Structures are given as structure tokens and as C-alpha cells.
Amino acid sequence: MPIETMIRKLRQHSELPNEDIEALRSVVASVKSLPGDSPIVREGELSTHCCVILSGFAYRSKVSENGKRQILSFHIAGDMPDLHGLPLKRMDHDLTTLSEARLGFIDHNALERILATRPALARALWRESLVDAALFRQWIVNLGTRSASGRMAYLIAELRQRLGAMGMVANEQFDFPITQSKLADALGLSVVHVNRILQRFRTEGILDLKRRVVTLGDLEKIVQLGGFDSLED
């Protein structure tokens, strides 16, 4: 039951009685597999349920008036990328699968019912959404203060850490099924420039991103370039 990954994640920041965990587990109504690039929710929609990523990847994005798309964040197994839809309802951005993904869906009404009698669980979900906000802040720092290659290195370091915490990094290698054009949209760079950075990283043995797999070459260098502080999982 890979819903355990989400529970493990919640437990990293919140102590929860077993009954709350059980209640949460029981409220996951349906599980669906979606191919890559499928919209999960769109900006402007009112959400009636939220999802847990059971496997695969998803990303959140927003298009600005000048037509450019900005990718706000990437999400991995265990994440609940549209939790904020529970209190806010109206989505302010899109949520899309990056690769084929298995998603668990939780109906808002059902979730509200169990939260009503379980304040600790409600608090845990609040906390979860605040951790999400903290990642956005990090991303602002990344976009605002670093050079193109620093941004790229930071992204990889952040992913390595989050995937590592979920046990999804092996042999300094992990899955990341992304195109350079999406990388460009996430980092605020042009595709061409992303390509050049990746090539430089490759020839300098820093890392290799090929065929949807990242191979870490020189972790020290990545962390240093990206100014990523905690090397620990």
C-alpha cells in the first residue's frame, strides 16, 4: 500500500494517534492511473477532492499573461499537491502529471467529516501545507539569487533530498522523467540555455540527465553550485 509514503511524510513533522492514521487511510476512496501530461486540476476550477501521489511525478504550473508558463514545483510519491484546495476551493494554478502516475483521491466532504473530530489530523494537514509554502520560498530564493547553473544544481539537489527521504535514490541515481523545455519553464530560462548547462554538467562530470534519469556525478559540486545546505537526508 504505497499510501504509506504519505503517512510517513506526515509523521515526519506531526505526531498522530493511530486512529487518525486509520481514519486518513480509510478516506482514500479511489486510485487511478494517469498517463504523463494529464491535467489533474486546472486553474480556476473548484476542487471537490484532493489527491495523493502514490507513484510517479506531477508538477504545478501557472501561465502568466505574457504567455510563458512557469512551473512552480515538482511533486513525488507521498505528496498531496492540492491539499490547499480543501480550505480554499478555487485553484490558482494547474496540476499536471509529469510522467505516468498513480493517484489516490480523497473526497473533500469525507475528509472534512473526519477532520471535524480529529484536530490533531487537521493540524497535521495544516502543517503539511506550510511545509509546501516553505518550499515555494526556497524556490523564490533560487530564482532570485542564483545564476542559471546554480538554479539547475539547486533543483537537482532538492529533488535528490526529497526522493532520498522516500528511499527513491539508489546508486546516486534517480528517475526524473522531464524534458528540457519543462526544466526551462521551472527555472525561468530558455530551452537552449538549459541544454547548454546540462551539457556542461555532463562533460564536467557533475551530473548527467539523460533518458529521464539523473545520475549524480559530483555531489559536492552540485551542493556547492546550488548552495544547498543540508546534505543529510
Q: Which residues are near a second copy by CB under 8 A?
A: 13, 60, 62, 64-66, 68-70, 72, 84, 87-88, 92-93, 116, 119, 122-123, 126-127, 129-134, 136-146, 150, 185-188, 227-229
**Contact by Cβ (8 Å): 6, 21:** no
| 181, interface contact from a second copy, DNA, none, CB < 5-8 Å by kind | DNA
Please select the residue that binds DNA; options are 3, 135, 191, 219, rule is CB under 7 A: 191
145 binds DNA (CB under 7 A): no
Residue 211 within binding range of DNA, rule CB under 7 A: yes
Of residues 2 and 227, the one with the C-beta less far from DNA: 227
Q: Does 198 bind DNA (CB under 7 A)?
A: yes
31-49 b/e with 16+ CB inside 10 Å = b? Answer: eeebeeeeebbeeeeebeb
Nearer to DNA by C-beta: 12 or 179?
179
- Cβ-Cβ contacts under 8 Å for 110 (sequence gap 6 or more): 27, 29
CA pair distance 109, 117, nearest whole angstrom: 13
Residues 6+ positions from 126 with CB-CB distance below 8 Å: none
At its nearest, how many Å lie between a second copy and the CB of residue 1? 27
- In the complex, which residues of this chain contact DNA (CB under 7 A)? 147-149, 179-181, 188-193, 195-196, 198-199, 210-211
